[in-house]
Structure 1
Amino acid sequence: MKDLALQLKNITKSYIDGESENIVLNNINLEVEHGEFVAIVGPSGSGKSTFLSISGALLSATSGQVIIGKNDITKMSKKELEDIRRNQIGFVFQSHQLIPYLTVLEQLKLIPLLSGKNDKDSENYAKSLLEEFGLSHRTNYYPEKLSGGEKQRVAIARSLMNKPDIILADEPTASLDGPRGREVVQTIRDEIKKYNKAALMVTHDERVLDLVDTIYRIENGNLTLEKRNVAI
């Protein structure tokens, strides 16, 4: 039996444009297992960002079903969706989106704080993640003092603070050169394998696709399996 972190069933997303209907996603189905790293590739305007937003409970589908872990989020209230995003999803954005006036350690501690937790266990977990990511020497640094690769590693560490079922990464290498971009994707891969999480990454960066387990292509609103690098 599959151990699924994310399921999308018959997902359609459309908008009314004047007198016509613009279909962004057309009856999409996807399953992502714990321990699996999935990449979504496709041209600009193909629906990748919409796809990721629906997967992360940031946008509702026109029709279809989204299941995160064991929770069907399709008909959840706004408050319930906020709880899902806060507790079961880790987000890594194209821009690291670090808060400029918080230190590296404070960036991580903010996540449990938003859920009403401010205990020693959270701080110890944050410090252990920073050590794991090779950032212990940057604990008290502010973002302006970090390199681009360090900022993204902080962002990935932050995404793990809520111990999510799934990490959603939106073009995480977009602002990085080749070696640093590869390092960031390798870090995501290492973490999901170590903690048996799942990751879904939208990317244009063909150079890192050998690091993922499964590659899907989205085009004209349709999702197709392109390649499996390993047997899942």
Structure 2
Amino acid sequence: MNEYALQLKNITKKYHDGESENIVLKDISLNVKHGEFVAIVGPSGSGKSTLLSIAGMLLSPNSGEIVLNGKCLSDEKQKNWTKIRRKQIGFIFQNHQLLPYLTVEDQLKLVKNMNKKVSLDVNETLKELGLKDCAKKYPSNMSGGEKQRIAIARAFMNNPDVILADEPTASLDGTRGRQVVEMIKKEVMKHNKAAVMVTHDERILDLVDVIYRMDKGILVRDN
């Protein structure tokens, strides 16, 4: 096993706006080990979400390399990116993005059916995360905290190497937000995953292993 689950090497992302050029990410590098929980904080518009999208292979950089488990994926054909994401990356979105017409149990089964190599059991996963009572519920019958916890369960369902969380506490109060991040931390440690969380919430930073701060497209590690 490679020491690092995720590496971003000299990532630059820029957009053209007429004749002007807007550089969103400036030569950014990031290394995340297996079992390590990393937070990226910074003001709106600093480039945090763009960096997360590139790490999750949802967006291409203008230059630089994306490396998962020691394998450089930047030169992979775009048509292979979906397959790589499905097998190696789990996403936790700010608005959880649950399908309204599926029960919790069926949400997780859908993920499992998309990746035939997944060995995780849906009911065991729900039980482990304290969500067994939600198995037959639809999203409309759950609280915001429950929905976000289901989103976490879904992210871990395909047994990915890397978890990417985009503002997972944004729609929750302080107590529920902390519970959600504690849940991510527990699963990262237990299953030796790498996790990167973009957040504005400074109150939960004591739960992560490493903190980076981003401003104007530049990423700096906290001492």
Deviations 1:142-179 (A, max 9, x none): 11111111111110000011110010000000000000
Please name the residue that 1:52 is paired with: 52
Structure 1 stretches lacking a partner, 5+ long: 228-232
Structure 2 stretches lacking a partner, 5+ long: none
The one of 140, 154, 158 equivalent to 1:162 is: 158
The correspondence of residues 80-99 of structure 1 with structure 2, limited to 5 A, is 80-99=80-99
Q: What is the alpha-carbon distance in structure 1 between the residues aligned to residue 93 and residue 8 of structure 2?
A: 21
The percentage of counterpart residues that share the same residue type is 60
Deviations 1:26-50 (A, max 9, x none): 0001100000000000000000110
Deviations 1:30-86 (A, max 9, x none): 100000000000000000110000000000000000101233110111221111110
Please name the residue that 2:108 is paired with: 108
Let me know the Cα RMSD of the aligned residues. 1.5
Please name the residue that 1:225 is paired with: 221
SS at 1:160's partner residue?
helix
Within the alignment, does 1:139 sit opposite 2:135 as a pair?
Answer: yes
Q: What is the alpha-carbon distance in structure 2 between the residues aligned to residue 156 and residue 39 of structure 1?
A: 16
Structure 1's 111 and 2: CA in aligned 2 closer, same or farther, altered over 3 A? closer
Q: What is the alpha-carbon distance in structure 2 between the residues aligned to residue 59 and residue 136 of structure 1?
A: 35
SS at 2:108's partner residue?
helix
User: TM-score normalized by structure 2?
Assistant: 0.96
SS at 1:224's partner residue?
strand
The correspondence of residues 1-232 of structure 1 with structure 2, limited to 5 A, is 3-115=3-115, 117=116, 125-227=121-223
SS at 2:109's partner residue?
helix
Matched letter for residue 7 of structure 2: Q
Q: Is the 8 A contact 2:28 2:219 kept in 1?
A: yes
Q: What is the alpha-carbon distance in structure 2 between the residues aligned to residue 12 and residue 79 of structure 1?
A: 22
Q: What is the alpha-carbon distance in structure 2 between the residues aligned to residue 2 and residue 79 of structure 1?
A: 25
Please identify, of 182-191 and 72-81, the stretch whose mean Cα deviation from structure 2 is larger.
72-81
